[in-house]
């Protein structure tokens, strides 16, 4: 899976089902070697520390952890930390 770009659509698989997210920001994670922080806009009851999967177009899954959640309206700004393969 390549690093997503701003405005890319992502599919997230969570304990409450599958949801679509839109990538808002992509940053290097200073706390993890090769780590990436993804800020996405998504709907759902996200909680800090929650585990989820980012599902790529080919069906492969990359694990991610919810680092923070900022509720705006119906959508939430969710920051995910993950390590994407090179």
Burial of residue 12, with CB atoms counted within 10 A of its CB: 0-12 exposed, 13-18 middle, 19 or more buried = buried
Distance, in Å, from the CA atom of 47 to the CA atom of 42, rounded to the nearest integer, reads: 12
Residue 75: predicted pLDDT:
84
Q: Domain locations in the chain?
A: 9-83
Residue 53: predicted pLDDT:
96
Residue 86: predicted pLDDT:
60
The closest alpha carbon to 1, from 66, 47, 63, belongs to 63
Sequential pLDDT tens for the chain (86 residues): 788 999 999 999 999 999 999 999 999 888 888 889 999 999 989 999 999 999 988 888 999 999 999 987 788 999 999 987 76
């Amino acid at each position: 899976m390549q690093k997503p770009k701003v405005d890319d659509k992502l599919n997230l698989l969570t304990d409450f089902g599958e949801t679509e997210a839109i990538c808002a920001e992509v940053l290097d994670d200073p706390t993890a070697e090769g780590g990436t922080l993804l800020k996405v806009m998504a709907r759902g009851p996200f909680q800090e520390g929650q585990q989820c999967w980012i599902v790529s177009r080919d069906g492969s899954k990359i694990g991610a952890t919810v680092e923070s959640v900022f509720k705006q309206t119906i959508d939430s700004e969710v920051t995910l930390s993950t390590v994407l393969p090179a």
